[in-house]
């Protein structure tokens, strides 16, 4: 069993990752912390609570609100992709009697901040806690700055972020999570805790189309199925308009898979740096992934391959019946 802390900027794909992580018995989700990214942290916190209510979560992890602003840059959000509420505008949906289909969630917030909770849990579970950041790395970097000694007890960081051998999704060269807070990302990469990255190079290969979602859900009309349909509509329409397919990337679910089904992925060791100053390239993640090239001292494992169909199958199997899917040992490395 792996103890994890999810750090999210929920976000539609963050919500899918939360649902997956809580449906996999191999993972113990100790906490979910919120950070500004797709939308402001206040809305992210509300969205993650609505997600937990939509899935009738059996047990609630500790929930804490994190940083509203990146370390240095002004906040950039992605409401145009995720909806103005960051969750497909489900907050606007009404039932026939005019009440909200997804009511304001019960406040179940920790009294301490996300940064303090991350530091606290790092000390409570030394060399065991795995951080799974799915948004900008502001909370993680702030925790490292605040209490470096305690944060060195973190076992590993498995994050969604970066792009190496394809185009970015915010600028030509930058992926959103790193673009929003490049200074935090560089700090985390310099810190020395083992890091595994799931960049756009692999997450762009795993597309949940509307047709696939309908095929998998069939006639199911339980609360979670309805939520999955409602929360993904806007993001699917966005990609129909801008990328020519009615579907959404499930970026943030891939780090969960890296933990529980590493056999579906391939990683390479790399020395990753972040452009924090460039006018045209700010937020770019830079690493030479060519297998024949000598590597300076690697600071991260970068995921370069995914079995996309097998991962989608796993994703839906876990959502359907909880986790009866054995995990596998560490992923094969590209020689």
Residue 176 interacts with ligand RIB (CB under 6 A): yes or no: yes
Residue 14 interacts with ligand RIB (CB under 6 A): yes or no: yes
Separation between Cα atoms, residue 23 and residue 7, nearest integer Å = 17
- State the binding partner of 229 from Ca ion, ligand RIB, none, CB within 5 to 8 A by kind: none
Separation between Cα atoms, residue 183 and residue 71, nearest integer Å = 7
Q: Which of 4, 7, 13, 255 binds ligand RIB (CB under 6 A)?
A: 13
Catalytic residue from among 82, 183, 204, 251: 251
- State the binding partner of 331 from Ca ion, ligand RIB, none, CB within 5 to 8 A by kind: none
Contact set for Ca ion, span 249-278 (CB under 5 A): 252
239 is catalytic: no
CB nearer to ligand RIB: pick between 75 and 112: 75
Q: Which of 7, 11, 55, 260 binds ligand RIB (CB under 6 A)?
A: 11
Q: Which of 2, 38, 173, 299 binds ligand RIB (CB under 6 A)?
A: 38
Residue 301's φ and ψ, nearest 5 degrees, are -100, 130
CB of 54 to Ca ion, least distance (A): 17
| Sign of the four-CA dihedral 314, 318, 324, 329 | positive
Residue 225 interacts with ligand RIB (CB under 6 A): yes or no: no
Separation between Cα atoms, residue 303 and residue 33, nearest integer Å = 24
Of 138, 221, 229, whose CA–CA distance to 186 is shortest?
138
What residues are paired with 84 via a beta bridge?
none
Give 3-state DSSP helix, strand, coil % of the chain, rounded to 5.
40, 20, 45
Contact 95, 101 (CB under 8 A): yes
Residues labelled catalytic: 251
Which residue ranges make up the site for ligand RIB (CB under 6 A)? 9, 11, 13-14, 37-38, 78, 134-135, 160, 169, 175-177, 251-252
């Amino acid at each position: 069993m792996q103890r994890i802390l999810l750090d999210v900027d929920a976000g539609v794909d963050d919500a899918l990752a939360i649902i997956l992580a809580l449906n996999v018995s191999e993972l113990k989700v100790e906490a979910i912390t919120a950070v500004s990214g797709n939308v402001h942290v206040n809305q992210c916190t509300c969205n993650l609570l609505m997600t937990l209510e939509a899935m009738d979560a059996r047990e609630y992890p500790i929930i804490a609100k994190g940083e509203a602003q990146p370390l240095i840059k002004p906040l950039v959000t992605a409401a145009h992709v995720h909806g103005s509420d960051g969750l497909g505008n489900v907050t606007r949906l009404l039932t026939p009697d005019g009440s909200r289909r997804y009511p304001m969630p019960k406040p179940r917030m920790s009294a301490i901040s996300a940064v303090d909770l991350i530091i606290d849990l790092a000390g409570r579970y030394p060399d065991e806690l795995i951080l799974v950041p799915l948004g900008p790395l502001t909370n993680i970097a702030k925790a490292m700055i605040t209490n470096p000694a305690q944060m060195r007890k973190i076992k590993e960081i498995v994050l969604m972020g970066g792009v190496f051998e394809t185009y970015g999704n915010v600028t030509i060269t930058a992926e959103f999570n790193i673009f929003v807070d490049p200074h935090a990302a560089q700090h985390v990469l310099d810190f020395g805790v083992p890091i595994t990255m799931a960049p756009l190079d692999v997450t762009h290969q795993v597309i949940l189309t509307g047709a696939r979602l309908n095929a998998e859900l069939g006639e199911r009309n339980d609360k979670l199925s309805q939520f999955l349909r409602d929360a993904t509509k806007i993001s699917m329409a966005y990609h129909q308009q801008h990328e020519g397919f009615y579907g959404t990337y499930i970026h943030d679910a891939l780090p969960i898979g890296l933990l529980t089904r590493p056999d579906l992925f391939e990683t390479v060791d790399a020395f990753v740096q972040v452009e924090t100053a460039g006018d045209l390239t700010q937020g770019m993640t830079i690493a030479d992934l060519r297998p024949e090239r000598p590597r300076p001292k690697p600071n991260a494992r970068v995921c370069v391959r995914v079995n996309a169909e097998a991962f989608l199958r796993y994703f839906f199997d876990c959502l359907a019946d909880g986790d009866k899917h054995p995990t596998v040992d560490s992923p094969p490395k590209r020689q």
